[in-house]
Amino acid sequence: MFDRILYGGDYNPNQWEKAVWSEDMRIFKEANINSATINVFSWAKIQPSENEYYFDELDEVIEMLSKENYDIVLATSTAAMPGWMYKKYPEVAHVDYDGRTHKFGGRHNNCPSSEIFRKYSSRLAGKLAERYGSNPHVTCWHINNEYGNYCYCEKCEAAFRVWVKDKYQTIEAVNKAWNMEFWGHTLYDFDEIVVPNALSEGIGYDKTAFAGISIDYCRFMSDSRLETFKLEKAAIREHDKDTAITTNLMGTYKGLDYFKWAKELDIVSWDNYPAYDTPWSQVAMTHDLMRGVKDQQPFMLMEQTPSQQNWQAYNSLKKPGQMRAQSYQTIAHGADTIQFFQLRRSVGACEKFHGAVIEHVGTENTRVFRETAELGEELTRLSEIIGAKAPSEVGMIFDWDNYWALEYTSGPSVDLKYVDQIHKYYRYFYDQNISVDMLAVDADFSNYKVIVAPVLYMVKEGMKEALQAFVENGGTLITGFMSGIVDQSDNVHLGGYPGPLREMCGIWAEEIDALAPEQSNTVVLADGTTGTSHLLCDIIHLEGAESLAEYTSNFYAGSPAVTKNNFGKGQVYYFGTELEPALLDKILADATAAVKPVLAEPTKLEVAVREKDGHRYFFIMNFTDEELPLPAEFVGKTDILKGHVLEEHDLAKYTTYLVKM
């Protein structure tokens, strides 16, 4: 995709006097910055009125960057509409969950069903492509920015009715799918369908009386936002047939089905903003998800901060070495770019305290800049890694339909969160340095030895058959509580939990007990190891499976808590409760015994691998608070980041090496 690692980020010279521009170019050169994302929020500047366009300033910016041999990531500016559009066409405004129509202000402020917005956003994208598409320095198009916000206006309501009719064909099918006999909600015509917000079916933003309609509205809104992206993409392609097109995703953002979106992106890009207390395993997992949404292809890191965020509750500084180590973790998990928000700190508004390569002091004489320059110098030597793949024997299912459905369900616990449950299993593999691919539910499972599917609450058409074939052919499936419960419309699979997975798992879960945060049960493994379990507890009956752990407290003491079932040539592990990490790890170690970590020697270091042209690139990183010994396998090898031979020694926190073997 690129012939060098893009290193740069979001740049807004239009916010500054032109005298600052040349100073920026001088300072950026010292950091080996080679790319800039521009024009992200310039719609009002470029189009001051309905039929007037002004490109003079953008022409100057692009000419300056082209002369400096920058790779330009050119945005279409459509994430915030100009004021004249609201004034003349107030119907472009979005309506929020509470039914309030928004005024001019903020961003992500349009209704995706608005034909006015669609007309002018795609027209602007086309004009930009017509003007700049032939410039060889424009190496990537960036449409909109961080898509989000649902709309509940009358236009979206009308469009939703059309979407529903296309999907279900008849109103009888809608009633069945949404179980509208409940509470006497039977529909007789499509025009009786209303959007599920606080004025209708909503019970707070994340709860609903009718999950069927609410899940479908998530699907519809994701599709609607995607349609606006596709319109801009088509407008660009009228003038530029080849340049890569992307938009920046947001990791585990709940609102949009990124597996579906990734099919329309030439390359995935995303913005990485962990909090001060986000586990490094969860950061790694999210990178893997962004690689996974487009069939394990390398991705772009579109945004990270060089120092601190401005919008979280506690915006702590990145400690010395942290930004560098975090950047290499990103590359280790599949990134071919490192880009920042932002290159120069804004003088005002809500992001003025968001970190930047050039701080408010306006010079290169800062710790942050020195670290940025160090990383930039190293990245100039790493073009050989572009396109390298991250091989994995373990696949983990991540599915937005399940994400929406699980967190809409009324019970059994408000503490049951989809991403948290995925991460509890991912953390084990991270600690063992076992590479994981994040997979869609319709992925090809045959390339993996182990498939992990926590809280696979919604089993849609074809999923049972795909998983069953995987296990019958010798694979290991790991699943557990709140799996196999409902179909694609959130209606329960009758016949006992875990529904379509019951035969494969060899168990029947009769009841599901919810434990409050202060409650726990005790559990004993088959080898006598004891510990605790939390959150949920399935009360399980064996139907061919063997028990690997039993409850030793509560009225269901003595019943199985974890099971294993041989099925065909493979096996299924079922976790009926949330085990404490030590117990979970012990059973997962047995379940994944056939899977090899990237490094045989046990270590608390994160060691990740990318492969290309017969070479393996080992990223060795210390994200712990301990000093940890260098694994013996790397003693005597050369760290290609600094060019020195590695000797036996301890690595301090954030120490990072890259070894080619």
* Exposure string for 547-570, b = 16+ CB within 10 A, e = fewer: bbbbbeebebeebbbbbbbebeeb
Are the CB atoms for 396 and 347 separated by under 8 Å?
no
- Which of the following is catalytic: 146, 157, 578, 606? 146
Which string of DSSP letters, residue by residue, matches 120-169? HHHHHHHHHHHHHTT-TTEEEEE-SSS------SHHHHHHHHHHHHHHHS
CA–CA dist 336, 519 (Å, integer): 45
Could you report how far apart the first and last alpha carbons of the chain are, in Å?
24
List C-alpha distances in Å: 421 to 258, 454, 480, 535, 590. Answer: 19, 7, 10, 11, 20
- Which of the following is catalytic: 232, 303, 578, 606? 303
- Closest to 571 measured CA to CA, from 639, 477, 442: 477
Are the CB atoms for 345 and 358 separated by under 8 Å?
yes
- Closest to 62 measured CA to CA, from 134, 139, 137: 137
Question: Catalytic: 627?
Answer: no
Cα atoms found within 13 Å of the Cα of residue 213, Cβ hemisphere only: 26
CA–CA dist 597, 620 (Å, integer): 14
Query: 263 — phi, psi (to 5°)?
Result: -65, -25
Question: Catalytic: 154?
Answer: no
Question: Which two three-digit tokens encode residue 420?
Answer: 């948290």
List C-alpha distances in Å: 45 to 15, 49, 64, 78, 320. Answer: 11, 9, 19, 12, 38
Query: 379 — phi, psi (to 5°)?
Result: -65, -20
Question: Which two three-digit tokens encode residue 528?
Answer: 């006598």
Residues noted as catalytic: 146, 303
